[in-house]
Structure 1
Amino acid sequence: MLMIREFFKRRALLRIISKMSPALIKGYGSRDYYSAGQVYQTALSLDLSKRYFKYNLALFCCETEPSLANKPMISEALFTDLRDEIKHKFFLGSDYSAIDIMKLIHAPTWKGGRMDDYMSHHRGMNSRF
């Protein structure tokens, strides 16, 4: 049961990373860390699940801000626990920044379908095209 829960948590974290990273870069540029207000507003604009909002802060922020401590209801102890969990889950225990998190996104690859350049693949490696 624990393995299934960890599988879904990891999948949710990767989905958060894939949605939040481009939005944060577009809105605020590429940075080592984002403020809690920037992460909060971006998560609200993307309409992400509030269940994993604490992970948004742990992924992209360096420290919690006292002004936003009431909104997501995250304490400093929980924040450090979540950062340690992410550190061990994705980075083998080493410290990370928001740029390291954004590097976890993979570019979309070819997912099948017909090749557009038929002539260059017609004769394989012996093709003159």
Structure 2
Amino acid sequence: MEATGFGVRHNIEVIEAAGGDIRRVVAVGGGTQGDLRTQIVSDITGRPQELRTTTIGASYGGALLAAGLVQDVSVDDWNPMRATVTPRPEHTHTRRYDDLYALYRRLYPDTSDVVHTLAPLQDR
């Protein structure tokens, strides 16, 4: 579960480093069905997450946009927020999470040669 949080933290850092302005984090998909995963993500990222009434993911919003059903309305009008998960200060950016995140960030660079060697062997 922490890997999901580290992935979200990494995405946030990359977007902000590129000049993006992240104003809110909205949790979608299967991970929103339990409280533990969303809490861990908020603790690792230090960001609150909005949980919407419908959480099936980006495909839901994309389909509504494509159908022209949400042109001039706020997301709050067609998919209201049902809860907000806030980071717990005692867990946010703790040394443990920061140390684990540093290891997470090393995983791909440290294993990419093995991963790329294994990839063509999967078809055999």
Taking structure 2 as the reference length, the TM-score comes to 0.38
Task: Name the larger-Rg structure.
Answer: 1
Query: Greater share of strand residues, 1 or 2?
Result: 2
Taking structure 1 as the reference length, the TM-score comes to 0.37
